[in-house]
Structure 1
Amino acid sequence: MIDHMSVPVAVPAVSADFYSKALAPLGYTVVMEMGPVSALGAPGEAGEALPDLWLTPGESFAPLHLALTATSPEQVDAFHAAALAAGGRDNGAPGERAHYHPGYYAAFVLDPDGHNLEVVCHNGPVGQAPS
């Protein structure tokens, strides 16, 4: 099980703003800041939001793919809308990706640094193509 991960970003304040808005539908907020480093988290089983997504300054990096789990297709839809409103670039509208498995319902957005941010629900509606 992954405990946390760091994502390199060019402008930490811009990325912290983007991620906090884009991931708000999943319950994520900035829970810790240490200089230019921001850590986001969502409440877990104990109700406390632990920092599991760290945004760290970086100058040169290859874009990465980060996928987070949603509890419902509606949460995937809300993420996609929030991420676009926060300045993300569409990289795949919400919908089923049956080539992964039936019910794999996801949306993809590129963050300010070009990282591919995905939110997926594994028990989404079957037979619903991306819009």
Structure 2
Amino acid sequence: MIDHTGFIVTDLPKARRFYDAIAKTLGLSTIDNGPEAFLLGKSAEEPIPYLWIGTSRPSYWAEGSRAGLNQTHIAFVAADKQTVDAFYNAALAAGGTDNGPPGPRSGAGDYYGAFVLDPDGNNIEACARGTGI
């Protein structure tokens, strides 16, 4: 189980537009977290788990951490194929780059996913699992 994770981005407004777009498709919210960061999670009322996205390096991160230093991969749960498709289209429209169009993945069982790179090159995925996918 994940409580939280996060990564650094270079342009907060650009990242916010991208994550606002994909959050909406997945039934998630972006939440302000000061002038240098925001959170992506279920809601302000149910904030955990969350993804921290910001331009500053938190004091407890390794020295030298910066956007793109170590590509991050985050996979979001999607309700169904249509949600994965909506995620993919919203991500591309908001400045993301294709990194694997929606579809089943061999060797993954009942799995349907899509991969995009966010504006800083982090690998962001939405996937649906289950019988009939």
TM-score range, shorter chain: 0.7 to 0.9
Q: Percent identity?
A: 38
Instruction: Determine the structure 2 residue equivalent to 1:84.
Output: 92
In 1, Cα distance between equivalents of 2:131 and 2:77: 12
Q: Secondary structure at the match of 1:48?
A: coil
Q: Shift in Å at residue 98 of structure 1?
A: 2.6
Tell me the matched-pair count: 122
Q: Secondary structure at the match of 1:62?
A: coil
In 2, Cα distance between equivalents of 1:112 and 1:23: 15
In 2, Cα distance between equivalents of 1:69 and 1:80: 13
8 Å Cα contact 2:30/2:38 also seen in 1: yes
Instruction: Determine the structure 2 residue equivalent to 1:38.
Output: 38
In 2, Cα distance between equivalents of 1:55 and 1:27: 18
In 1, Cα distance between equivalents of 2:73 and 2:6: 12
Alignment of 1:50-89 (within 5 A): 50=47, 52-57=50-55, 59-60=66-67, 61-89=69-97
8 Å Cα contact 2:12/2:54 also seen in 1: yes
Instruction: Determine the structure 1 residue equivalent to 2:2.
Output: 2
8 Å Cα contact 2:76/2:125 also seen in 1: yes
Task: Name the aligned partner's letter for residue 109 of structure 1.
Answer: V
Gaps of 5+ in 2: 58-65
Q: Shift in Å at residue 35 of structure 1?
A: 1.6
Instruction: Determine the structure 2 residue equivalent to 1:94.
Output: 102
8 Å Cα contact 2:37/2:52 also seen in 1: yes
- Root-mean-square deviation (CA, aligned residues, Å) is 1.9
In 2, Cα distance between equivalents of 1:12 and 1:96: 32
Task: Name the aligned partner's letter for residue 75 of structure 1.
Answer: T
8 Å Cα contact 1:32/1:40 also seen in 2: no
8 Å Cα contact 1:26/1:42 also seen in 2: no
Task: Name the aligned partner's letter for residue 50 of structure 1.
Answer: P
1:22/1:9 CA distance change after superposition, 3 Å:
same
Gaps of 5+ in 1: 127-131
Task: Name the aligned partner's letter for residue 15 of structure 2.
Answer: S
Q: Secondary structure at the match of 1:15?
A: helix
Q: Shift in Å at residue 29 of structure 1?
A: 2.1
